[in-house]
Amino acid sequence: MAGDLRRRDPAAGRRCAPRFGRRLPAARVHDLRGMLKPEVVFFGETIPPTRFAAAERLLASAEALLVAGSSLAVNSGMRLVQRAQRRDLPIVIVNRGPTRADPRATVRIEAGTSEVLGALAERLPVP
């Protein structure tokens, strides 16, 4: 919810997906305009309203909420958990360490997201 794996193409001014397995070209200093940072929301920053609204729309049609790799220390994450709880949706938390939503979880898995989500993806039917 809080970020994605995209970068800005300074020459074109558009976003483009990175090509995994290839090195991305280094930006030249004169191409940069403003602060250079990944397109994520850092702790203490505000989640853009459009991004939170998109997450709310996804949750409105969801059958469950999966929280992966977050302590839920940020209020916007907890707001999604609260909305899922109000709808009586199952809440699954995968995290190393405690989260603020542990008491609300239907299932809590104490593990890393890479191994759990990878194993889950292998077991899901292909549509």
Residue with tokens 């309203």: 49
CATH class of 49-123: alpha beta
Report the alpha-carbon distance of residue 70 to residue 67 in Å, rounded. Answer: 7
pLDDT given for residue 19 in this prediction = 47
Its pTM stands at 0.68
How many CB atoms lie under 10 A from the CB of residue 84? 21
pLDDT at 121 over 70: yes
For residue 118, what are its two tokens?
């990878």
**63-120: per-residue pLDDT in tens?**
999 999 999 988 888 999 999 999 999 999 999 999 999 999 999 999 999 999 999 9
Average pLDDT, the chain: 80
More confident: 10 or 56:
56
| Ramachandran area for residue 21 (φ above 0: left; ψ -120 to 50: alpha; else beta) | left
Task: Kindly list the domain boundaries of the chain, sorted by start residue.
Answer: 1-40, 49-123
For residue 98, the Cα-to-chain-centroid distance in whole angstroms is: 18
Contact 48, 39 (CB under 8 A): no
